[in-house]
Amino acid sequence: MPEPGGAFLPGTTVTSTDRFATTNDFHGLDLGLAGEVGGGPWRLNWTAKVAFGGTFTNVEIDGASSIAVPGLATTTTAGGIYAQPTNIGSYDKSRFAVVPELAAAVSYQLTAQLRAFAGYSVLYWSSVVRPGGTIDSTINVSQLNGTPLVGVARPQARFDATDYWAQGFNVGLAYAF
């Protein structure tokens, strides 16, 4: 425990943890085209599609602080630094989202059964919430270490959406028998 005047006893350990986690699920209608162009041993496969629907986001916020004084009991309270009683919990939100995707692969028939290929794909997903977008950096310090809230209830849970890009390369051999 702190000594009078606010100082801690020697050996006192103060620990604080914050945990921000998000899950984004997309549900929607996928429309697109796919094709193949070939000549001789060469072949080009392509896909272009777009999905319209909703991104369903779940945000989980948790935190705790503890003060361990040598020879005395450890005191643990809800709330870390950015995770406080005003935003700790589970929150859900849904938003409209668009997810286009493009892919292409070139292949070459090496033998009657063996084909070599290489491809590239790119995907964009709008309205994705990542853990960093849930952190409210405005903190009402009156509630730190479990003391009662005085004033504005901050931090709050946030749902700042960002864009998500994914791309990939693939190379391989296909053997038909």
Integer Cα distance of 26 and 48 in angstroms: 18
Q: Is residue 1 pLDDT above 50, yes or no?
A: no
Burial 74-110 (b: 16+ CB within 10 A, else e): eeebebbbbbbbbbbeebeeeeebebebbbebebebe
pLDDT in tens, 71-128: 888 889 888 999 999 999 999 999 999 999 999 999 999 999 999 999 999 999 999 9
Q: Higher-confidence residue: 10 or 50? A: 50
Integer Cα distance of 155 and 140 in angstroms: 7
Q: Is residue 4 pLDDT above 90, yes or no?
A: no
pLDDT band per the 50, 70, 90 thresholds, residue 156: very high
| Residue 27 confidence (pLDDT) | 98
Integer Cα distance of 83 and 66 in angstroms: 14
Distance from the Cα of residue 158 to its chain's centroid: 13
| Residue 148 confidence (pLDDT) | 87
The pTM of the full predicted model, rounded to 2 decimals, is 0.79
Q: Give the pLDDT mean for 129-138.
A: 95
pLDDT in tens, 60-70: 999 999 989 88
pLDDT in tens, 31-45: 999 999 999 999 999
Q: Give the pLDDT mean for 150-166.
A: 94
Give the β-pairing of 89-109 and 42-68. Answer: antiparallel
Q: Which pair of tokens denotes residue 122?
A: 């790119």
Backbone angle region of 135, left / alpha / beta, with phi > 0 → left and psi within -120 to 50 → alpha: beta
pLDDT band per the 50, 70, 90 thresholds, residue 6: low
Neighbours of 148 (CB within 10 A): 7
Integer Cα distance of 135 and 117 in angstroms: 44
